[in-house]
Amino acid sequence: MKLQIRLLFIFLILSACVAVNLFAGGGPQEELPGRLKAAYDSYPQDPSGACARVEDILQSTDVAVLDMPEAKAAWTFLANCNYQLKNMDKAVRFYDEVAALDPGDHQALVNAGHVYAQQALYGQAEKKYREALRRVGGDEAAGEKIRAMIANIPGRIQKKYRFSTGLGYDSNVNSGPSDTTHFLYGAYNYTLDSDAKPRDDFYYYNSLSAVFSKKVDEETHVLLNVGANNISYFKEDDFNNSVFSMSLGFKKLSGGKSKTLTPYVNYQILDDRSYQVNSGFNLSGAMRVSEKVNIWPSAGGYVQDFYKNDPRDAFGGSVGASLSYQIGEKTSWTGSLFYTHHHADNGRFTYNNIFWGSSLRQRISKVLSATAGYNLQLFYYDDIDPVFGTARKDNGHKYYLACDYSLEELLRMDKTFVSVSLSYFDNNSNHSFQERERFFSSVTLTFNF
């Protein structure tokens, strides 16, 4: 009997030990959220201890039992507390854990970028910001914020490059004025030469631009813009042209406003035999009036030297503004009004130009947008037509439609797109007798890097 009682006692002890071993793995797993909460709650009294306890829990325990929000909260807590404790390398590593856990989370990558920026590791910061930008999807507000972060990384020169290449069709290549173009008009007989006959042609073009900026202080940026573009017709060599441009400016930010002063110089090769040089300055601004309204005022002056057989100088100035209005979540309207005064051809005549433009932009989907617009230009000359004794007046109408398809997801590049554009010009003149219609179409591929 004593032996049976002793064996029963041994059996109960062994059973208890087995039970302890069986529940040793399951118990803590079932209590994991509670253990994490206890560590979180201890943070105000013992930040470093709380951080160490959460790290130990996550690295020594199977966290697969946690659902997504709980797991993200734990890794985010660990990243944040390491950041507060100045453990920057660990903070970035744990923000990356959050980003890996949820491929749709862009904020963890933004936080990692902030950590790098505070260590003056601006290259790594920009890389994290761009990774975050690829995750925002259709969240335009988040995208704009991240682009602003990239644009304002301090302490180093910011570089933005754009390359565009395209193929187009021009229904009336020689629609510009020619020294030998004359028409029959009433009692006046003007010789019509071959150059005055409308001709169509295909053309190709390439454009490369670069913007360099540096943040001098919280409000001041220095800007350098350089660019080059070329348009070449397949048959009409005389109408090919290339432009090289450069400007250096200063941008001043203050709240929701900015001011930019930009002196510039452009060198343009009009064909194989002539060129012109433009130089001047622009003073522009940007002002956020409300959540829906933005205004961009501008004023500037220029001088121009045109060389062919002899120089024909010109100078002038302009003033005006553009305004945008956000009609809806996907629809916006932009309008522009500018006045320009010119002295041209060595002071032989002067003219005034009024430009009015209006466009409506519609975001059709996440990757597709369309813009339809109309521009009107009115030219009023201060002198009298030497032949007819009437006031000179020109006008030009332009209607256009452009569709942009974003290739950002496909090419993993910010704001990279293919665009298809259609434009119709109707130009009239009561002194050069050139009532010309002109149709443009083009397909353009643009890369930003």
Each residue of 156-210: pLDDT tens digit?
Answer: 677 889 999 999 998 877 654 443 333 333 333 333 344 456 678 899 999 999 9
Is the pLDDT higher at 268 or at 8? Answer: 268
Domain with 58, as residue range(s), is: 31-151
Helical packing angle, 88-101 and 68-84, nearest 10°: 170
Per-residue pLDDT at 220 exceeds 70: yes
CATH for 247: 2.40.160.40
Q: Is the pLDDT of residue 253 over 50?
A: yes
Distance CA 280, CA 43 (A): 61
CA distance 406 to 428: 37
DSSP state of 427: E
**pLDDT at residue 96 greater than cutoff 80:** yes
Number of domains composing the chain: 3
pLDDT of residue 379: 81
Per-residue confidence band for 60, with pLDDT thresholds at 50, 70 and 90: confident
Structure tokens at 312: 């024909």
> Do both 24 and 35 map to the same domain?
no
pLDDT of residue 391: 67
Place of tokens 């454009």: 207
Co-location of 135 and 243 in the same domain: no
pLDDT top residue among 61 and 106? 106
Q: Are residues 373 and 264 in the same domain?
A: yes
Both structure tokens of 183 = 């028409």
pLDDT (mean) for 99-109: 85
User: Is the domain of 7 the same as that of 49?
Assistant: no
Residues 66 and 15 in one domain: no
pLDDT at residue 162, rounded to an integer:
93
Last residue within a domain, chosen from 126, 151, 176: 151
Report whether pLDDT(303) > 80: yes
Q: Which residues contact 257 (CB under 8 A, 6 or more apart)?
A: 285, 286, 287, 288
Compare 250 and 12 and report the one with higher pLDDT.
250
Where does 53-105 show beta strands of DSSP type E? none
Report the C-alpha gap between 306 and 245 in whole angstroms.
16
Q: Please tell me whether residues 132 and 165 are part of one structural domain.
A: no
Contact 192, 183 (CB under 8 A): yes
> What is the mean pLDDT of the segment spanning 340-357?
82
Across the chain, what does the average pLDDT equal? 78
Q: Provide the CA 272 distance to its chain's centre, in angstroms.
A: 35
- Residue 280's CB is within 10 A of a number of other CB atoms, namely 19
Provide the pLDDT for residue 386: 56
Residue 222 structure tokens: 């220095």
Give the amino acid at 360. L
How far is Cα 30 from Cα 28, in angstroms, rounded to an integer?
A: 5
Give this prediction's pTM: 0.64
Q: What is the mean pLDDT of residues 418-426?
A: 91
Residues paired with 440 in a beta bridge:
170, 423
Amino acid letter for position 429: S
Residues 26, 41, single domain; the answer is no
pLDDT of residue 406 exceeding 80, the answer is: yes
pLDDT at 7 over 50: no
User: How many helices and strands, by DSSP H and E, does the chain display?
Assistant: 9, 14
- Does position 250 have pLDDT exceeding 50, yes or no? yes
The token pair that represents 112 in the structure block: 């990692």
Q: How far apart are the C-alpha atoms of 312 and 346, rounded to whole Å?
A: 6
